[in-house]
Structure formats: structure tokens, C-alpha cells
Amino acid sequence: MAKSRHLIVVIVIVLAVVSLACGGSVSTANIRSATLSASASGTPETTVFRQDDLTVYCIVTLANAPSDTTVKAVWTAVDVDGVDPNTLIDESELTSGDAELTFEIANSQLWPVGSYKVDLYLNDKLDQTLEYEVQ
């Protein structure tokens, strides 16, 4: 029994060393919350926008994040009148530690009616998707 425990500990240590040697990293950074709003203040939160809400804001709160943590927002028109399905609209990236980050997408004209999404990547890995619609 003691030999199996020691073997398991040795295997775990070897895997950790190999992972780090191959460029792997362990981060405790996480997106504590992510919300959408028609206001830069983030309130009220919504997932339904009017065509004349010219700017859509995505407010992201990072937690346990070292100062070199990157968050990328990728905005997509999923099913929108007059637009090919899943059309990339825009993307932007911010680097920060623990903070509230504000991403935004603006349109100088009325937004076309339909469904949209913003994919949030934490250190280049998809963390979550926020779906919203314009009515």
C-alpha cells in the first residue's frame, strides 16, 4: 500500500515537471463575472438590446489574475438580418491583473435585428460565451 502511494506521488511530480518543461503554466486567473449592458457603467445588465443602442458593453471582472493576464473579446453576428451567419464583427484584447475590464462594440447606425454573441478568452482559451439579441 505504501509503495502504491509513493508511486502515485512520483508520477504526479514527473507529470508536473514535464508539463512545466513543455511550456505549460498553471494560473489561478479566472473571470469572476461577465455581463452585458447598453451603459458603460454596466447597469442595468441586459441580453436584449434595441437597434438604437449604438454601443454594447461587456464588463468583465478578473480575479486571482497576475498582471500579465489577457482577456480577449470576440464579437460575432450569429443570426442577423442581411448578414452571413457567424460573421466576425470585431475583436479586442486587454492585459491586466485583478480588475474590471470594459469591452465595447459600437455602430454608428441602427444595429440589424438578430442574435449575437461575444466569446471571452482568458489567456487564449475560450472561457465563456455571452449571447444577446437586438430587437
Burial 24-53 (b: 16+ CB within 10 A, else e): eeeeebebeebbbbbeeebeeebeebeeeb
| pTM: predicted TM-score of the whole model, two decimal places | 0.80
Judging by DSSP bridges, how do beta strands 55-63 and 100-106 pair with one another? antiparallel
pLDDT tens for the chain, 135 residues long, are: 566 565 565 554 544 544 444 444 567 999 999 999 999 999 999 999 999 999 999 999 999 999 999 999 999 999 999 999 999 999 999 999 999 999 999 999 999 999 999 999 999 999 999 999 999
Distance (Å, whole) CA 132 – CA 33: 16
Q: What is the pLDDT of residue 21?
A: 43
Tell me the domain boundaries of the chain: 28-134
Are the CB atoms for 55 and 39 separated by under 8 Å? no
Class of the CATH domain delimited by 28-134? mainly beta
